[in-house]
Structure 1
Amino acid sequence: MPRKKKSTPKPLKGAALITKVAQLGQATREEKAKACGYYKVSHNGTERANIMALMNALLEAEGMDLDAKVIPHQKQSGRSPSYRISVQKNGQLLIGSAYSKQMELQPGDEFEISLGRKHIHLNKVI
Structure 2
Amino acid sequence: MTSITPLTGKALLTRLKELGNASRSETAKACGYYSITKTGRERINFTAFYEALLASKGVAFDEAAPRKGRHPSYTVRVQSNGNLLIGSAYTKQLNLQVGDEFEIKLGRRQIRLVPVNGGDDDSEE
Q: Could you say which TM-score interval applies, normalised by the shorter chain?
A: 0.3 to 0.5
**TM-score, normalised with respect to structure 2:** 0.47
**TM-score, normalised with respect to structure 1:** 0.47
